[in-house]
Chains A and B, each alone.
Chain A
């Protein structure tokens, strides 16, 4: 499944990132790395973007971007 499909307050592990260039670099810098744990905090009131926790940071990203990150539950 992709990152946007994690249930709220559940933790998953990043499996694969399908992005290039700036998006990829930005994701790396924010701690989205294969093998890292990621937790879904909440969806925005209008249900896009989403807020996730990775490496103790709370980060918001659009669903469109979240779709490029494959995750699995532990």
Chain B
């Protein structure tokens, strides 16, 4: 069922214009971080692949939920969060840039 949602979401993500993929992250202050993603034209990023990398290795991954949010536990040490909507639509944020 979720597959269908994904599919339809995808259709809408594909909406017009050169949209820049956007992601911003927010430290919830309780050891978790929430990232909101989407596109510059207001299209939601629901269903887009997310992954956390440390030393170029994926340590965890998931999908943007229907609110176009992705919450994860803050890893130890340096890391980066990636929003990957395909070639030319990739955003990466360094962990050190997400301030509490």
Do any CB atoms of chain A lie under 8 A from CB atoms of chain B in the complex?
no
